[in-house]
Amino acid sequence: MMEPRTYFELKRDAVYRYILWQTTLGNQQNLYLAEFPKSGGTWLAQMLARLLSLPFPRNTSVSRQPCILHGHHQIRSKNKRVIHLTRDGRDVMVSAYFYFLINDKNIFQNIWVKKMNKEDLNDVKSNLPQFIDIFFNNYKSGGTRKNWNDFVLHYLEMKNVIQVRYEELNLHTSRTMTSLLHKLEIKTPSLPMKEVIERYSFKAQTGREKGQLDENAFLRRGNVGDWKNYFSRDAAEVFNFYAGEALISAGYEKTRNWYH
């Protein structure tokens, strides 16, 4: 699908979104959904939009009416309704590898391929340590460098932010969504929970069962713990160097010795 907006309009919309995230401007009924990339935020936003009857302006201009604003910003304003979706950073690294290096529909693929400078990008296990190092030091969103460790710690330290774990959402979708609506003080959703969950399930959106791999798809495998298939000891050591603190703080491991 071709982007209908001009380059100027894209930049204007990006700046406007950033202003909404970081200032007191904007409709007070907006719901902000923050995630580090490849953490399942689009999926959660789609379900919330249906359940709450709110627009979800995904890759489109934001109107002035109340909506769900999904993004990768480290919000600092205290007067907003904010949900933070966390995913195990090791799964994030694997998902990001496939998205930025293998998915030929990604417009940023050439940039990341040049950074890696590898002949065989399909050798994920051998290349992953280098990718993790490059990704932690070079990933930018909204014009600023971001990494999984700092992003997660930022939101874990913020009060009045509703925390949701991707793993719980993936394995126990109905229970997790029901709990989230309770925290949002929503007593009666606009549509039946089961109907919404089925509409946006991995199978409904891809035609595949969870666990069935499509390396070129935005929704690649749809399961939890895929990092165990690709992490070598070297990859674990690099990830632990950059993100061991957040891995423990977020409850994914108890000590930094998880890979020994």
**Where does CATH 3.40.50.300 sit in the chain?**
7-88+149-204
C-alpha to C-alpha distance for 198 and 204, rounded to whole angstroms: 7
Burial class (CB in 10 A: 0-12, 13-18, 19+), 211: exposed
C-alpha to C-alpha distance for 237 and 233, rounded to whole angstroms: 6
Torsion of CA 96, 102, 105, 110, to 10 degrees: 90
Contacts of 94 (CB under 8 A, 6+ apart): 124, 128, 226, 227, 229, 230, 231
The reported pTM is 0.89
Cβ-contact 84, 161 below 8 angstroms = yes
Confidence at 185, pLDDT banded by 50, 70, 90: very high
Residue 234 has pLDDT above 50, yes or no: yes
pLDDT digits over 76-134, tens only?
Answer: 877 899 999 999 999 999 999 999 999 877 788 889 999 999 989 999 999 999 999 99
Beta bridge partners of 83: 33, 162
pLDDT digits over 46-86, tens only?
Answer: 999 999 999 999 878 888 889 999 999 999 877 899 999 99
Summarize the confidence of residues 3-23 as an average pLDDT. Answer: 82
Backbone angles phi, psi at 56, to 5 degrees: -125, 90
Q: Which CATH class is domain 7-88+149-204?
A: alpha beta
Residue 1 has pLDDT above 50, yes or no: no
pLDDT for the residue numbered 235? 98
Q: Across the chain, what does the average pLDDT equal?
A: 90
C-alpha to C-alpha distance for 105 and 138, rounded to whole angstroms: 21
Q: For residue 185, give both structure tokens.
A: 């003080």
Residues above pLDDT 90, as percent of the chain:
67
Residue 226 has pLDDT above 90, yes or no: yes
